[in-house]
Structure 1
Amino acid sequence: MRTRARRRGRRRGSFFLDMIFLFRPCFSNILLLSILLLSSYPSSVLSSETKNLSPRNQTLRPLEELNKLKAINQHFRKINKPSVKTIHSPDGDIIDCVVSHHQPAFDHPRLRGQRPLDPPERPRGHKKRRGLRPKSFQLWSMEGETCPEGTVPIRRTKEEDILRANSVSSFGKKLRHFKRDTSSNGHEHAVGYVSGEKYYGAKASINVWAPKVQSQYEFSLSQIWIISGSFGNDLNTIEAGWQVSPELYGDNYPRFFTYWTNDAYQATGCYNLLCSGFVQTNNQIAIGAAISPSSSYKGGQFDVTLLIWKDPKHGNWWLEFGSGVLVGYWPSFLFTHLREHASMVQYGGEVVNSSPFGAHTSTQMGSGHFAEQGFTKSSYFRNIQVVDWDNNLVPSPNLKVLADHPNCYDIQGGSNRAWGNYFYYGGPGKNPKCP
């Protein structure tokens, strides 16, 4: 019972609170790693009105069941908007083509009655990659289906999606609670990072995998973090990448995702378009939809390029995915510190380890193989860059790498002419050295 409760309460931990110590150059790597071991997000305390939401709880009473259904229906009305076209994806997703200014972002008081902005100037030094068309990135559009101009594709939220969450209010969010003891640490990372300067964006190419996730309540992701704030209650982050999250999506497909918060995950922000915030401008990419194809061990490698940058004119943070496709933007008013600039950028992988049956999880990070195995076997970030104060893309200066559980998941950095700054990372989780 104790193991089940711990697994049910797992939520994504915060690596950022630990990283504040990286600003103190006098600390040794040993001390840094010991600090990382102390970080976690333990179980959240559910509200009385939603604590019985999960189907795992079999003691629902009729009134509680009715309140649960009412809460779900109210939430559906907020995030599932009327569509002009509906597309059924081979993976079971339903994609709604929603008029662009009716998407959830425009429920925000600051955006009500407005329309999406025109694209800004891209950073200097940025070249659009020739490659796969946007329709080739995701399963829902593989058979030539598209959303009409003036609409955006939105993955429809189903009842079972919300039922997998602990509560309606926590669905699509990362909950923030901390407990400083090593037994509660369930979040493990292998990342490259830069800090100590002012950053106005980041770019990298990431190869996509379909890592095995052992438990429904664990996940594996690879992403870029744009970070600013004091690493306390005012932490601002912008996040984008790919993830396998059975709890959020109900399957094991790698999916394109975004996230944001301006208060360290306390009350603001959400994944994808599950709240008012991110403004989508593209009618060919569905945030939260499955990416296809993915890379194969000793076989073909499929990577996507992500670029996040701050528009110098309006201050909004824009996102580009794949071969030059603008996805949309996070309005500057969503943030406090990120209205100005970022103080840290991170690139890399993260998993949740719920320690099933008292052992380390076998959930994989990246390809599920260690960094030393290299190309076609390990996962990688390549051509790692940042955007400077003058809207120039430049190589990430002084890129450092760190793995907080290197016997389970590790990282190795390097640089060459073809890939610029890069690193390999990942691992299998449970193995003889990671029991």
Structure 2
Amino acid sequence: MAAARAPASFHRCLTVLFVLVAVALLLSACCAEGAAAAGGKATPRRRQLLRQRQVDYHLRRLNKPPVASIESPDGDIIDCVPISSQPAFDHPFLKDHTIQTRPAYHPEGLYDESKAASSQKDKQKITQMWHQNGMCQENTIPIRRTKKEDVLRASSVKRYGKKMHKSTPNPSSIEPDMLNESGHQHAIAYVEGDKYYGAKATINVWQPSIQQGNEFSLSQLWILGGSFGQDLNSIEAGWQVSPDLYGDNNTRLFTYWTSDAYQATGCYNLLCSGFIQTNNQIAMGASIFPISNYGGSQYDINILVWKDPKEGNWWLQFGNDYVLGYWPSFLFSYLADSASMIEWGGEVVNTEPDGSHTSTQMGSGHFPEEGFGKSSYFKNIQVVDSTNNLKAPRGIGSYTEQSNCYDVQNGNNGDWGTYFYYGGPGKNPNCP
């Protein structure tokens, strides 16, 4: 007797069932793998790929398509980017911004530097290295190209181009001779207690030695508003040596801004949206030369920052000829009105552990008492008042955390106006 055969429909149903079970098992495995990847620890390879994607995205965002590129003798690439394509316009509030091509008003009463100019007429004018190989055309701005290795040196992609927190001294509330808790140390002159609408200084230029790559040394002016808590507003400009940021020990022109005490807003130079550059001849973050020599020729730069009384933007001028651009007032809270403190001077970062001190130099690396040609200085320091006039600061004070490491000495005379010498070697027999 032949065995009964199952209907064809039964075989079809069984086949469908097997397929459904296989699909279910496959989906379950995929979901489990995805959950493990999301909830478990990422493998080193996965972390590497993720960081690489972040770095590539960051580079695409910062390096705008240029119309020309210039290779500097120091290894930098300077991209000539259309002025309307610069990083500033990534800011959501600047999407429809009309560029202010020049300030409505310059400050009046600039210090008469004719005596100083005549005594230095044979000196080489300070310039930037990339100028040796070309210049950017009209309607473009020069931007130092960010390289992959620049970003990889940062502690994180998010922190690239940003200072550590608490890098501004507060002379009113910090006891002298105490190391700043974030490792930043200063030797500065300052004024406070009034409304300020800008500041100016002639800054002696050096190339201080940096002990470790994650440390820096700079000389700058600070335009400050608000408290020294999380709402601090700051505009900064001067020169710096920062191997961590730039990958070398060259002395470079730089700017910085923040509206929340260096936490989330602001950055160096054009490494985020904010500062709007209008000048096609000077590149933020590019090397400057020549540099002062100990016991030899001395070279200075002039920095002026002021608030345009008509438009309200904060403008930056380098030297007597280069108006570089502006920070729109909406970037700030307190500085949307005025500054409450101005500071001039030097800053270094000490990353040495256990209370020991770095040998990173400030200024020339020599103490103020050594004087001209040996110690670094600021001269012709001025503030901009409410009538848009430059004038000598009143009630100027000085401050340093550890005077046996870095010090400051104020002075005044007819040729230099209000001035001070500052700086030091860092670690020495009196600064262990």
Which of 49, 65, 70 is 1:66 aligned to? 49
Supply the AA of the counterpart residue of 1:90.
P
Which of 383, 392, 406 is 1:409 aligned to? 406
Looking at structure 2, the residues matched to 117 and 295 of structure 1 have their Cα atoms a distance apart, in angstroms, of 35
Find out whether 1:280 has 2:277 as its counterpart: yes
Does the aligned pair in 1 maintain the 2:166–2:182 contact within 8 Å? no
Which of 160, 166, 169 is 2:149 aligned to? 160
Could you tell me the TM-score, scaled by structure 1's length? 0.83
Looking at structure 1, the residues matched to 101 and 253 of structure 2 have their Cα atoms a distance apart, in angstroms, of 23
Distance change in 2, residues 1:127/1:423 (3 Å): closer
Alpha-carbon offset, residue 385 of structure 1: 0.2
Distance change in 2, residues 1:173/1:128 (3 Å): farther
Distance change in 2, residues 1:374/1:263 (3 Å): same
Looking at structure 2, the residues matched to 339 and 100 of structure 1 have their Cα atoms a distance apart, in angstroms, of 24
Distance change in 2, residues 1:105/1:146 (3 Å): same
Alpha-carbon offset, residue 119 of structure 1: 1.2
Let me know the Cα RMSD of the aligned residues: 2.4
Q: Return 183-192 or 321-330, whichever deviates more.
A: 183-192
Find out whether 1:123 has 2:107 as its counterpart: yes
Alpha-carbon offset, residue 177 of structure 1: 7.2
Where 2:267 maps in the other structure, the secondary structure is coil
Distance change in 2, residues 1:68/1:411 (3 Å): same
Alpha-carbon offset, residue 176 of structure 1: 3.0
Where 1:142 maps in the other structure, the secondary structure is helix
Find out whether 1:347 has 2:336 as its counterpart: no
Does the aligned pair in 2 maintain the 1:209–1:367 contact within 8 Å? yes
Query: 2:129 matched to which residue of 1?
Result: 139
Distance change in 2, residues 1:338/1:148 (3 Å): same
Alignment of 1:216-231 (within 5 A): 216-231=213-228
Unaligned runs of 5+ in 2: 1-37, 168-173
Query: 1:194 matched to which residue of 2?
Result: 191
Distance change in 2, residues 1:60/1:93 (3 Å): farther
Looking at structure 2, the residues matched to 88 and 279 of structure 1 have their Cα atoms a distance apart, in angstroms, of 23
Looking at structure 1, the residues matched to 191 and 255 of structure 2 have their Cα atoms a distance apart, in angstroms, of 21
Which of 208, 226, 231 is 1:234 aligned to? 231
Find out whether 1:171 has 2:160 as its counterpart: yes
Alignment of 1:278-427 (within 5 A): 278-355=275-352, 359-427=356-424
Distance change in 2, residues 1:325/1:134 (3 Å): farther
Query: 2:81 matched to which residue of 1?
Result: 98
Deviations, residues 194-245 of structure 1 (Å, cap 9, x unaligned) = 0000000000000110000000011100000000012211110000011100
Deviations, residues 321-366 of structure 1 (Å, cap 9, x unaligned) = 0123101100000000000000000000011111268631110000
Where 2:330 maps in the other structure, the secondary structure is helix
Does the aligned pair in 2 maintain the 1:134–1:284 contact within 8 Å? no
Alpha-carbon offset, residue 116 of structure 1: 2.3
Could you tell me the TM-score, scaled by structure 2's length? 0.83
Where 2:93 maps in the other structure, the secondary structure is coil
Deviations, residues 363-396 of structure 1 (Å, cap 9, x unaligned) = 0000000000110000000001000000000001
Query: 1:88 matched to which residue of 2?
Result: 71
Does the aligned pair in 1 maintain the 2:206–2:363 contact within 8 Å? yes
Which of 137, 144, 147 is 1:148 aligned to? 137
Distance change in 2, residues 1:429/1:102 (3 Å): same
Which of 109, 119, 123 is 2:92 aligned to? 109
Unaligned runs of 5+ in 1: 1-48, 50-58
Supply the AA of the counterpart residue of 1:349.
G
Supply the AA of the counterpart residue of 1:86.
S
Alpha-carbon offset, residue 398 of structure 1: 1.2
Query: 1:26 matched to which residue of 2?
Result: none
Alpha-carbon offset, residue 188 of structure 1: 1.0
Distance change in 2, residues 1:239/1:434 (3 Å): same
Does the aligned pair in 2 maintain the 1:378–1:426 contact within 8 Å? yes
Supply the AA of the counterpart residue of 1:141.
H
> Which structure is larger by alpha-carbon Rg, 1 or 2?
2
Query: May I ask how many residue pairs the two structures share in their alignment?
Result: 377
Looking at structure 2, the residues matched to 60 and 132 of structure 1 have their Cα atoms a distance apart, in angstroms, of 62
Query: 1:3 matched to which residue of 2?
Result: none
Looking at structure 2, the residues matched to 348 and 377 of structure 1 have their Cα atoms a distance apart, in angstroms, of 16
